[in-house]
Structure 1
Amino acid sequence: MELLSSSKAFGGSQRVYRHDSAACACPMTFAIFLPQQIEDRPVPLLWYLSGLTCSHQNVVDKGEYRAAAAANGIAIICPDTSPRGEGVPDEPDNWQFGSGAGFYLDATQEPYAKNYRMESYIRDELPDLVSQHFSLDMGRQGIFGHSMGGHGAITLGLKNPQRYSSVSAFAPISQPSTAGWSRPALEKYLGSDEAAWRAYDSTLLIADGHRLPDLLVDQGSADGFLQEGLRPWLLEVACAAADIPLELHMRDGYDHSYNFVSTFMAQHIAWHAQRLVTA
């Protein structure tokens, strides 16, 4: 594991690392914020998954999460959104697929199956790696994300309730199997049999019996992707049918940008802290 950068922030340390990933068969980069409390004891861990076209760098630069993470004594890991580099299949002119658009799934279709294994990377490989190098309490993990990353956070949370004690999302893609900007990606990664897509659709996972203890979602009312791509009301219906407590906030006038995410970032971290630190 190679340290690419390190900078002190709020008494802790913001770092970026690169390592060779077996899951993705290429080098992968991730950011990690380590709060000062880690010097005295293992700290809880919160995963943040970014959206389409992003890498770890977007939230590091614009997410404004370090003050809240430091105050609550929580480490935050920001993985990349997809495999990258020479030899990794890509569609450079398609921002909804390939590099920057891994959708946090394990692809089964060629030529993507070798590299696009983001679910295995986030769920298995990266936790194992960081647990060996940092004083993290792996028994207290939460997960959240934005847009495509919100989709990834909820699906990973639903399928791994023993792993993640808290789950939240900013403007998640609530039903990617029917949204115009995600259906084509699911077909290329997973094939034309839509039954295989159910494992990566929050509403369908809930319909199939997967559960969360509760869920926090923030969504901007002025989000340009609200009607066609995000549709939080579908998640609301699914949660209501399954008796999953959903705290859905429609934020008047906010769009899809990091101006929206950063505004409510501290509230999300405090919500996770109630479940990871004080529980």
Structure 2
Amino acid sequence: MGFPSFRAPSCRGCSGSITELSAERVRSVAHTYDCFDERLIEALAAMTGRRTRGWWEEYRDHVPVALVDLAELEHHAAALRVALMLHIPALLQTTDHARALFQAVVPPMRQYEIEHRLTHRLKRQGLLHRPDPPPYTAIIHEAALRMGFGGPVVARGQLKHLTDMSELPHVTLRVIPFGADHFPTTGQSFDYVEGPVPQLDTVQLDSHHGACEFLDAEAQLSKYRAVLNSTESCALAPAESRDFIHRLTQDL
């Protein structure tokens, strides 16, 4: 992953967990291995010794470890950008919507597993309500808005929640309608987690077997940044997106 435990591709030799080193040791190692990117070095130095046992550690034995790591990444993110084609972003889901999703998982989860996943997801959402929330941009395809998980009442509540969340100053919600004149992706959903410098960004992908895949190689980050920017370019503006969702809500 990109951070808090990361590999710094442009600073060879600074591998492993940076939190186990001192700031001066990081600077020394960086220069030893001919890394002279001062912004990157200082970002790494600032991360030393800061790893703490956050709320996510309570779930390490109860949900897939990748979800624990994702929660930690989100907690430390400078900004978050997500693009989803068939699902509502996890950080914007209502409790009823999330429960309906977990109940539909194949193979079925046990009830206690559903409850662990649900409480973990709700705690992740606290990120958007803390005093210093990171900027959050969600690009959602119209298909995701029309899926109707949980039935009309749940779907209506979910759409209303989206419009409410889009009113927050740090939340930007943009919709790609079916009538968009171009669509620059194969339909894969992903999260782009920005670190303190671009080299420490991380892309998170969902897989069909339920785990998260993390990408942090420079070429991968560059590709997904370009895909995300292109995807956002074909979406409606925030105000238009809010009106679009409001109209869908009225139709239910």
TM-score by length of 2: 0.35
User: Quick one: higher RCO (CA 8 Å, sep 6+), 1 or 2?
Assistant: 2
Q: Choose 1 or 2 for highest CA Rg.
A: 2
